[in-house]
Structure formats: structure tokens, C-alpha cells
Amino acid sequence: MVIRGTQLDGVALVVGSGRGIGQQAAFSLAEAGARVIVFADMNTETATASAEESKQYATNPEYQSTHFTVNVTDQDGVQAMVDFVVEKFGRLDYAVNAAGVDNGLHTPFADTDIDNFDRVQTINARGMFLCCRAEAAAMRKQTSRTFTSRTGTRDIGRGAIVNVCSANSFAGLPGKGSYTVSKHACMAVTKMVGLDHSAEGIRCNAVCPIWVRTPLLDVELERNPQVRAEIEAVIPIKRAAESDEVGDTIVYLLSPSASYVNATSLLLDAAVTATLRFH
């Protein structure tokens, strides 16, 4: 039986949904009943293909999907993306921000390349800041919604945002300084959006997974085969998370079931951080 509180029925924007976690999050939203999903990505081709594929997972008979090409580092482009959603579909109920990059290197912090550092911060931290700012600004202008559960009817706010952060938002990984710094910043963005706009009925939370099976991880495994051995050694269940496991968690955080959850970062690490490890 599906828990009613985890069903969605509104308009969603998923940024970075051409592939990987963002794509699977959007597919999970379609399965959960979203009426509209806008697939936003820098890669028009993958966003278009993902929007079309989502139709086979959708459960809402009124389901619509479309794509929008965006560079999350471009302030005007991000604003145009949010304006497109609101103007075309009337409101923005759910936003997922999953665009991001790895730093692509395993480098001691003192040897960090400043150009690489700036690139990672610009895409990951600035990009998430711009998306959240535009999304929250749109949500605060719309009417609040209600949900009726077995205990009564409650206000569930004007909108919900979920940011895709990382286990590196909580702790460092040797040689991944640029990425770790950016993901700590993303968690701070999440907290501040939730804190500053809670009274306006806007929730902002984050999912913070450890390794996830995505094209990004595939590239990492190809570049550094030792990562596979590290995953099996570090994670008690000896595998990376599946991207749909992350997507389904995102659905929960967006849903009425999580209407009391705000400014929280949910760690998805299969108990890795529950154990002290001595090498």
C-alpha cells in the first residue's frame, strides 16, 4: 500500500536531470504522481530524452513533461528557467537541485589547482545558491497548500526544495578538497534557505549520499580502479547506492509526509559514519 503522504500531485522542476541522480529523482517524482516535471539541464539532448522517457513511469493521468536548457552558473539563465516554469504551469511546488561536478582529481590540499577549485565552487556552490534563490523567490509568491491525513488537515506550505549534496558535506575525503569544500557550502545553502523562509511556508532539505551508481561514478572508476576496492572496503553492505534509492528519498523529503522536516541534511551512507575505522 502506498502511503498517501508520499504521493505528489504538483509541478516540479528538476535541475541536472539529464542523467544520474537528477534523472532518477525526476523519474521517482513521476512515479509518485507529479503532474508536471520540467527537466532542466545544460545538455539539451539528454534533458529532452529524459523528459520523454519519464512518461513511461508517470502515474498521474494529467502528466506533462518538458525540458529547459540551463547553465546553473548563469544568474539570468537560472531566473529564466524558474520564470518559464511559473509562466507555463502556474506555480512551482517542488524543486530538486542536482546539477554538479566532481573536482576530477585526487590532490593533497596544499597542491590544489586554483582554477579547478574556482570551477568546482562556481558550478556546485554558486549554481545551487542561484537555483535556490530563484526557486524560493517564486514559491513565496504563491498560495499555500493543504493536506488531509488521518489526524486532520494541515498546511504544507508554498513549496519544497531538495538539494543533492553529498556525504562530503559532513566529512572530507583525502584528495578531494575542492569537491568537499563545495559540498559543505551546498549544505549551508540548504540550511539558510530553510531557516530564512520557513515562516513563508517554504521547506529546503538535502540528501547527502555517499557513492552512488551514476555516470559520474563510472568515469571515476575508469580513471581510478582503486575506488571500487575502496567502496567495498568502506561500505558495510559493499556497494554504492542505486540512484533510484536516492530519488525515492528525495520524493519523501518533498512530500506531505515530510512537512515538518526543514533545513535538514539527510545522510545516505549505509552506516559508514556510524563506525570508527582505524587503518
131-142 pLDDT, tens digit each: 999 999 999 999
Q: Using alpha carbons only, give the angle 102, 209, 163 rounded to the nearest 5 degrees.
A: 75
Supply the DSSP symbol for 107: B
Place of cell 552512488: 212
Is residue 205 a contact partner of residue 253, using CB atoms and an 8 Å limit?
yes
Digit-coded pLDDT (tens) for 141-182: 999 999 999 999 999 999 999 999 988 888 877 888 899 999
Q: Using alpha carbons only, give the angle 128, 165, 210 rounded to the nearest 5 degrees.
A: 160
Supply the DSSP symbol for 125: I
Active site residues: 179, 183
pLDDT value at 104 more than 80 = no
pLDDT value at 276 more than 70 = no
Could you tell me the pLDDT band of residue 99, with boundaries at 50, 70 and 90? very high
Q: At what angle do helices 20-32 and 44-53 cross, to 10 degrees?
A: 30
Domain ranges of the chain: 4-214+243-266
Q: In what order do the strands lie in the sheet with 94-97?
A: 64-69, 36-41, 11-15, 94-97, 159-164, 202-209, 265-268
Task: Calculate the average pLDDT of the chain.
Answer: 93
Digit-coded pLDDT (tens) for 115-135: 999 999 999 999 999 999 999
Homologous superfamily assigned to 4-214+243-266: NAD(P)-binding Rossmann-like Domain (3.40.50.720)
Type of residue numbered 181? V
Nearest Cα residue to 131 out of 168, 94, 103: 94
d(CA 106, CA 100): 17
**C-alpha grid cell, residue 279:** 587503518
Q: Provide the pLDDT for residue 1.
A: 40
Q: At what angle do helices 127-139 and 75-89 cross, to 10 degrees?
A: 30
**Mean pLDDT confidence for 71-99:** 99
CB-neighbour burial class of residue 202 (10 A; exposed 0-12, middle 13-18, buried 19+): buried
Digit-coded pLDDT (tens) for 35-45: 999 999 999 99
Is residue 6 a contact partner of residue 252, using CB atoms and an 8 Å limit?
yes
Is residue 34 a contact partner of residue 94, using CB atoms and an 8 Å limit?
yes
Q: Provide the pLDDT for residue 230.
A: 86
pTM recorded for the entire structure: 0.94
Say how many Å lie between the first and final Cα of the chain, rounded: 45
Q: Provide the pLDDT for residue 72.
A: 98
